[in-house]
Amino acid sequence: MKPSVTDHVKIKRYNHPTGGWGSLKSLIRKAHGEGLLVSGIWSTLMRQNKSDGYMCVSCSWAKPAEPRPFEFCENGAKATLWDQTKRRCGPEFFAAHRVNELLDWPDHDLEKQGRLVEPMRYNEATDKYEPVSWDAAFREIGKELRKLDPRSVVFYTSGRASLEASFMYQLFARIYGSSNLPDSSNMCHESTSVGLPESIGSPVGTVQLEDFAHCDLMFFFGHNTGVTAPRLLHPIEEARQRGIPVITFNPLPERGLERFKNPQSPVEMLSPGPGTKMSSEFFQVRGGGDIAAMTGIAKSLLALDDAAVQNGGRRVLDTGFIAEHTSGFEEFEAYLRRTPWDKIVARSGIARADLERVARIYSEASAVIGNYGMGLTQHRHGTENVHMLCNLLLMRGNVGKPGAGVSPLRGHSNVQGQRTVGISEKPELVPLDKFAAFYQFEPPREKGRDTVETCEGVIDGSVKAFVGLGGNFVRAVPETGLIEEAWRRLRLHVQIATKLNRSHLIPGTVTYLLPCLSRIERDSQAGGEQHVSMEDSTACIHGSFGYRPPAGPDLLSEPRIVAELAKATVGGKSAVPWDEWVGDYSLIRNEIERCYPDHFKDFNKRFLAPGGFHRDIKASKRVWQTPNKKANFKAPTMLETDPDIDVSQSDVLTLITIRSNDQFNTTIYGYRDRLRGINGTRMVLLMNKRDMQRLGVSDGDEIDLQSAAEDGVERRVRGLRVTPYAIPPGNCAGYYPELNPLIPLWHRAEKAHVPAAKSVPVRLVPVSGQASK
Ligand SMILES: Nc1nc2c(c(=O)[nH]1)N[C@H]1C(S)=C(S)[C@@H](COP(=O)(O)OP(=O)(O)OC[C@H]3O[C@@H](n4cnc5c(=O)[nH]c(N)nc54)[C@H](O)[C@@H]3O)O[C@H]1N2
Ligand SMILES: Nc1nc2c(c(=O)[nH]1)N[C@H]1C(S)=C(S)[C@@H](COP(=O)(O)OP(=O)(O)OC[C@H]3O[C@@H](n4cnc5c(=O)[nH]c(N)nc54)[C@H](O)[C@@H]3O)O[C@H]1N2
Ligand SMILES: [Mo]
C-alpha cells in the first residue's frame, strides 16, 4: 500500500485557536474538492442537527432543542460534504481497476472516488468487482447463509445505522441463529459499557445537555474535543465565560482544549485576539497515567477531608451520599492511603503539588462533570480507568444531581443507540424472551463474538462469513497483517456501504458490495417518505429527515437491504412482516417501543419534538441498578493502565494512536492536521525531544516502527518521519489506521476487549543510510 503522503509536507506548530477563520477556510476548500457549490451546500448544512432536518453523520454529541443558526462544526460539515459529494464510484471505475491494484491505494484515494451506486459482486477470475442485480445478490447471499452454521457467521455494525435499521438487523441475525453481533463500540466505549454498570449500574452516561449550563467544574480525560466532538466546545466556552474551571488531562497539548474561537460569533471572529482559553488547567499526563493521576487527586481529597475533620471544618467528602448510596468506600480509602506519592508522581508524570491543587479546586466545586474519551477506554485497564473516574465523582456525590455526572463522549452518531436496540453479542443485555414471544422464533441464548473474538475466529478459521452494516472492519481492527491474510479464507463477505474502503478489497470466496442511501438523502418507501431516529451521547433520541436527492437511482435504504437479506435467508421463519416494516418505518418504531417500553414510551409521538426525548437513565436519579443496589467504589488493581509494557526496557516507547483533524475514523478526508500543524503526510511519529536524543534520531529522519511485543509475530510499519512534539517522554504518537498493524490482537482491555490502541509497545528501527529532511 502506498504511504499516506502528498508532495507538500509541511510541519509547523499551529498557534491559532480551534474554530475561527482556519475552520471556515478548511470548509470552503473541502466543498470545492467535492465538486459542490458553497451556496448549494449551505442550504443543506442549515438543516444539520435541526429538529426538522437530518442528524449529522459525524459525532454523537447532543443536539439542542433550540439550535444555533448553524448547528454544525467544521468536522460535521466536512462529513456532510464528503457524504454528499458529486463524485460517483460506479461500474466504470470497477471495470477499470483490478482489486489487487486498488489494494495499493491509500484510504483517502479509495473513498475519494465518491459514492457507491450499484450492487457489485467480486469475480475472482478477473479480479474485478462486476455489477449484479439486487435480486441476484440477495438470492445468492441467502443461499450461502443457509448453507453455513449460523454460529460461524458474524453480523458487524458500525455505529452509524439508525435505530430502525439496527433493530431489524439484530432480529435478522438472531432469527438466523447467530448472536455474533459485534459493533464498532467494541473498539471504542466498550470499557464504558462494562465499567459503568459495575460502578453506577448504567451502561451509558448520566448527564444531559442542560447539566453543562449548571456545572461549576468540568474534567476532561483523554478526549480531543476540538476535533472529535467540536459542538461541545460551545458549552465549554459558555462555562468558561461563567468563570467555571475546566481541568484537562491529555498527553498531547490538543488545540481544541487550549483555545477556541467561535466561528458562529461575528464579534469573536472579527476580534484579533487568541480566542477563549478552554482549559483553565492542562496537564500533560503520561499516556496510561490517568489511574495514577486520579489516585493522586483522590488521595489529596482524602487529606483535605482529614484536615477538615481535625479542624472541625466542613467535610470535603460527601459523607451523607457515601453512606446512603455507595458501597466499597473503606477498601477504596485503604487503597488511597497505602499508595505512595512517589509512585503516583512517577506514573502520572504530574507533580504532587499540581494534583493537590486540582483536589482543592475539586473540593470547592458543587456540581462536576467528568468527560472522557478514548484516552481512558483504549487501554488494557480501560475499564479500571472508567471505575476510577466514577470513584472520583462519587467521593463528592457528583452523580445524579443537576450539573453533575459522568459523561462518556461517544463516537459514531448512533453507536450508543444501536446497543440500546439489541445490537449486542451479550444475550443478557437483550430482551430475548420478548423477541421470542413477539416474533415467534427461538433466539440463540449463548454469548456471541465481539470484535476481537471475531478477529480471532477469522484467524483460526471458525468464522466463515462476515456481513458488515457499514464500517471498515478490516482497517479499524488491530493486527492488520494476520487479519488481512486470514480474511481471504472467508466463504462469504458482504459489505453494505456508501463508499469504497480497504475492507472491500479483501475478498472471500463469495463477495458482495451493496451500496446504500445516506441518512441525508430522501428515503421513499411504499408508505411514502420515511425518517429515522438515533440516540446521542446523552441518551437523547432524535428524528432525522433525509432531504437530499439519492446519490443514485439504484440505491436502497439500509432497512430495505436488511429486510431483503432476511427474506432471502430466513423468510417464513418468524412472524416479522419484513415488507410491511420497510414500507412504513413507524411500524419498526412501534416494535422498538413494544420491546423496550421503559425507554421508548410513545416513541412515534415524541421523537420528532424539538430536542427529541431522553431515555430513562436510572443512575441520573440515584437509582443504582447494580446487584447490590448501590453505587460502587472500585479500587484499581495497579497504577499502570498497561501490565504488558515493560518500561524498564529503555528502547521501548508507548505508542498512542491518534485521529487527525482531517479524518473520521478510517475515512481520511485529506492530509491537513491543521491543529497539530502536520500537513501533507500522515506517516509521522511524534516524539519527545529527549527520547529522540536518547535513541539517536533527528527531526525528519525516516524510521520503521516495530511492535515490542515478544510473541513471535513480526509487526512493522515502514517509512515514518520522526517529528519532535510536545509529548511526555516514553510516549510517542502516530495516526490510526496506518499504525494498526503494530497492535497485537491480545493487547486489549481486560473484560471489555477494547484494543489498547492508546498504549502500544513499540521500538524504532532506523532505516539505514537515509535521513529524508
Ligand atoms: N472529526 C472526527 N470526529 C470523530 C471521529 C473522528 O475520527 N474524527 N471519530 C468518532 C469516534 S468513532 C470516536 S470513538 C470519537 C473519538 O474521539 P476521542 O475520544 O477524542 O478519541 P481520540 O481522538 O482517538 O483520542 C482522544 C485523546 O486521547 C488522548 N490520549 C491518548 N492516550 C491517553 C491517555 O493515556 N490518557 C489521557 N488522558 N489521554 C490520552 C489523545 O492525545 C487524544 O487527544 O470521536 C468521534 N468523532
Ligand atoms: N489504532 C486505532 N484503531 C482504532 C481506533 C483508534 O483510536 N486507534 N478507534 C476505534 C474506534 S473508536 C472505532 S469506532 C472504529 C471505527 O470502525 P468502523 O466504524 O468500522 O469504521 P469507519 O471508518 O467509521 O467506517 C467507514 C466506512 O463506513 C461506510 N459508511 C459511511 N456512512 C455509511 C452509512 O450511512 N451506511 C453504511 N452502511 N455505511 C456507511 C463507508 O463505506 C466508510 O468507508 O475504529 C477503531 N480502531
Ligand atoms: Mo468510536
The model's pLDDT over 669-724, given as tens digits with 9 standing for 90+, comes to 999 999 999 999 999 999 999 999 999 999 999 999 999 998 999 999 999 999 99
Question: How much is the average pLDDT of 522-545?
Answer: 95
Q: For residue 9, name the pLDDT band (cuts at 50, 70, 90).
A: confident
Considering every ligand atom shown, identify the ligand nearest to the alpha carbon of residue 659 and give its number: 1
284: amino acid identity, one letter? Q
Phi-psi category of residue 611: left, alpha or beta, with phi > 0 → left and psi -120 to 50 → alpha: left
424 and 396 assigned to the same domain: no
232 and 367 assigned to the same domain: yes
Mean of pLDDT over the chain: 93
Which triple of cell numbers denotes residue 720?
515514518
If you search the block for the grid coordinates 508522581, which residue do you land on?
345
Question: How much is the average pLDDT of 406-412?
Answer: 97
Q: How far apart are the first and last CA of the chain?
A: 23
CATH number for the domain including 576? 3.40.50.740
223 and 361 assigned to the same domain: yes
pLDDT at residue 734 in the model: 98
Which one of 343, 378, 409 terminates a domain?
Answer: 409
On the question of pLDDT at 265 being above 70, the answer is: no
Encode pLDDT of 232-255 as tens digits.
Answer: 999 999 999 999 999 999 999 988
Which triple of cell numbers denotes residue 432?
430475548
Contact 370, 221 (CB under 8 A): yes
Asked whether residue 635 is assigned to any structural domain, the reply reads: no
pLDDT at residue 645 in the model: 66
Contact 462, 152 (CB under 8 A): yes
Q: Name the pTM for this structure.
A: 0.96
On the question of pLDDT at 773 being above 50, the answer is: no
Which one of 536, 568, 601 terminates a domain?
Answer: 601
Per-residue b/e over 168-190, b at no fewer than 16 CB within 10 Å? bbbbbbbbbbbbbbbbbbbbbbb
313 and 391 assigned to the same domain: yes
Asked whether residue 572 is assigned to any structural domain, the reply reads: yes
Ligand 1 atom showing the smallest separation from residue 733 Cα: 42
Q: Which of 62-71, 360-369, 746-755 has the lowest mean pLDDT?
A: 62-71
Question: How much is the average pLDDT of 76-99?
Answer: 95
Encode pLDDT of 561-616 as tens digits.
Answer: 999 999 999 999 999 999 999 999 999 999 999 999 999 999 999 998 888 999 99
Encode pLDDT of 185-202 as tens digits.
Answer: 999 999 999 999 999 999
Residue 316's SS3 state is coil
209 and 336 assigned to the same domain: yes
Encode pLDDT of 308-318 as tens digits.
Answer: 999 999 999 99
Which one of 601, 632, 661 terminates a domain?
Answer: 601
If you search the block for the grid coordinates 453506577, which residue do you land on?
200
pLDDT at residue 74 in the model: 84
Residue 730's SS3 state is coil
Contact 535, 420 (CB under 8 A): yes
Q: Is the CB of 613 under 6 A from ligand 2?
A: no
237 and 322 assigned to the same domain: yes
Encode pLDDT of 89-146 as tens digits.
Answer: 999 999 999 999 999 999 999 999 999 999 999 999 999 999 999 999 999 999 999 9
Asked whether residue 214 is assigned to any structural domain, the reply reads: yes
**Which residue's CA is minimally distant from atom 18 of ligand 2?**
471
Residues with C-beta less than 6 Å from any ligand 1 atom: 58-59, 75, 188, 221-224, 227-228, 249-252, 254, 285, 287-288, 290, 373-375, 409, 411-412, 656, 658-659, 663-665, 758
Closest CA to 370 of 358, 352, 381, 357: 358
Which triple of cell numbers denotes residue 209?
445537555
**If you measure from the C-alpha of residue 183 to the centroid of ligand 2, how many angstroms do you get, rounded to a whole number?**
10
DSSP-based helix, strand, coil % in the chain, nearest 5? 40, 20, 45
Contact 692, 770 (CB under 8 A): no
| Domain extent at residue 474 | 90-188+415-601
Asked whether residue 631 is assigned to any structural domain, the reply reads: no
Residue 193's SS3 state is helix
Contacts of 111 (CB under 8 A, 6+ apart): 82, 499, 500, 501, 667, 668
Q: Which long-range contacts (CB under 8 A, 24 or more apart) does 326-330 make?
A: 326/394, 326/630, 326/631, 326/632, 326/633, 327/628, 327/630, 327/631, 327/632, 327/633, 328/632, 328/633, 328/634, 328/635, 329/633
pLDDT at residue 421 in the model: 98
Dist. CA 511–CA 124, nearest whole Å: 9
369 and 424 assigned to the same domain: no
Question: How much is the average pLDDT of 492-505?
Answer: 98
79 and 143 assigned to the same domain: no
Considering every ligand atom shown, identify the ligand nearest to the alpha carbon of residue 502 and give its number: 2
472 and 327 assigned to the same domain: no
**If you measure from the C-alpha of residue 260 to the centroid of ligand 2, how many angstroms do you get, rounded to a whole number?**
27
Dist. CA 765–CA 703, nearest whole Å: 6
* CA angle (501 as vertex; 379, 546 as ends), nearest 5: 95
340 and 426 assigned to the same domain: no
Beta bridge partners of 277: 259
Question: How much is the average pLDDT of 169-195?
Answer: 98
pLDDT at residue 45 in the model: 81
Count: domains in the chain: 4
108 and 161 assigned to the same domain: yes
173 and 284 assigned to the same domain: no
CATH number for the domain including 754? 2.40.40.20
Asked whether residue 5 is assigned to any structural domain, the reply reads: no
The more confidently predicted of residues 261 and 663 is: 663
